[in-house]
Amino acid sequence: MNIKCNRHSLHRPGITTSLFKILLSTVTLLLSITTISCNDESAVLPGIIGSSLNITTDPEGVAVYMNNVDKKALTPVSLPDVEPGFYKLTLSKRTYLDTTYYVLLKRGLEDKLFFEMRENPVYWWRTYTMSYIGLPFGYINRVRVDKLNRKWFASDFGVILLADSTFTVYNSGNSGIQSSSILDLYSASDGKVWFATTGGIIRYDGSTFTQFNTANSDLPENYITCVYEGKNSVFWFGTRSSGLLRYDGVNFIRYNTDNSGIASDRVTALATDTSGVVYVGTAGAGISIFNGTSWRQLNSFSNSLRSDFISKLLFHPDGSLWIGMGYSLSAGGIAKWDGSQISNYIVRGSEGTANLITDLALDLKNNLWISTGDQGLFYFRSGKMIQYTKRNSGIIADEALSIAIDQTGDKWIAGNGISQYWGRK
């Protein structure tokens, strides 16, 4: 820039020629700086190296906006040559809640961001209240799915069947059920459904409910806590205080602390492996394992099990055993038994550690789902827990007593009503 100056117009008495030259140089420099800073081009100085931004999401196919500008790209996406700076990043996908994230990009770096999109409950959940089902109040204690994809629910007021979008309630007033307080149920390989109740055992063959109790069978007590079908159609039942029962279709055989190696007579959970070995969960004594002739134990003392209060046992197709633990006064959690070693996992949610694991289920991809008595539902995959509560999802209540997954992958959660969830398939 050429600046022409009139020395006489700028000269004032007392200002020497040397001082004038210094002032003139200063003015010229200031004008030069002002010219650069007032340029209408980008605020990024020439020569600054851009950054790249790699965005992945679960699920994929999410639209990306930066400072409210649509990047015309769906995740997973790589955005190259992004100028350094502070950005508002918005992710949007139909049936999911928009996610906004603020990111500061430095120059010359490759940033990788992963986002777990939150589902919009309006599109992913449906709930059924107790009054809608046809019950006055109370809880649904257990839910299971039969071979016809019908849903069976055990409640404090009888058995509930959901078939063809219709709920049917069976209780002592309209069927052969003598006890309406149902604690557990099992859909057998032959199509029959078995129920564990406070008044004995009930078997349903599709038309008739048959009752087994202390008055008409060899049952040592009527309070039956759980039921499971083992190898060769042998059924196993747990009792509140009389140990384990084996039923071969004719007789009940009893195993208790007086005549066997079972660790406790308070049986709370059952499972059998492919070879017919029975795993018996107890209230306070861990797990007793019975191979037909001898017994061995899994517990907190000898195997580092987190809790000896067992609420659920579930075999994975790979042969490992998932264990649900805890009760209201004891720290709960889940554990995995691989046949030789126990691995404990703490189920920690937004309100702290879940004290009671009420049920376990595997989805169609063999990922684990966990219902809890105080913190809703958890999805466990690759060591990561994702929680569903009344606050962040469409679940009817945080007191989730049971979970089952149907043939289409829908999740059914029982508690103070029923929740149906068709996400994460």
Model's pTM, two decimal places?
0.83
User: What's the pLDDT band for 42 if we cut at 50, 70, 90?
Assistant: very low
Q: 310 vs 245, 339, 343, 400, CA distance in Å?
A: 18, 17, 15, 17
Higher pLDDT, 244 or 1: 244
Domains 51-116 and 121-421 share a fold: no
CATH topology of domain 121-421: Methylamine Dehydrogenase; Chain H (2.130.10)
pLDDT-derived band of residue 35, with 50, 70 and 90 as boundaries? very low
pLDDT the model gives residue 48? 61
Which of 21-25, 145-149, 197-201 is predicted least confidently?
21-25
Query: How far is residue 41's CA from residue 305's CA, in Å, rounded to a whole number?
Result: 66
Which amino acid does the sequence have at 371? Answer: S
β-pair type (110-116, 51-58): parallel
In total, the chain counts a number of residues equal to 425
Q: Among the listed ranges 13-17, 51-55, 152-156, 214-218, which one has the minimum average pLDDT value? A: 13-17
CATH code for the structural domain at 51-116: 2.60.40.1120
CA–CA distance from 135 to each of 32, 227, 246, 309, 418 (Å)? Answer: 84, 24, 33, 31, 12
Instruction: Compute the average pLDDT of residues 50-64.
Output: 94
Work out the angle at residue 72's Cα, subtended by the Cα atoms of residues 68 and 73, and round it to the nearest 5 degrees. Answer: 110
Q: In what order do the strands lie in the sheet with 224-229?
A: 224-229, 235-239, 244-247, 252-255
Q: Residue 271 and residue 203: Cα distance in Å, rounded?
A: 19
- Whole-angstrom distance, CA of residue 175 vs CA of residue 66: 63
Write out pLDDT tens, residues 107-146: 888 889 999 999 999 999 999 999 999 887 789 999 999 9
Residue 40 confidence class, pLDDT cut points 50, 70, 90: very low
* Region 287-310 average pLDDT: 95
The pLDDT tens digits for 300-320 are 998 999 999 999 999 999 999
Res 77 pLDDT > 70: yes
| Integer CA distances (angstroms), 322 to 89, 163, 318, in order | 40, 30, 11
Per domain, the residue ranges of the chain are: 51-116, 121-421
Return the closest-CA partner of residue 69 out of 90, 42, 95.
90
DSSP letters of 347-394? -EETTEE-S-EEEEEE-TT--EEEEESSS-EEEEETTEEEEE-TTTS-
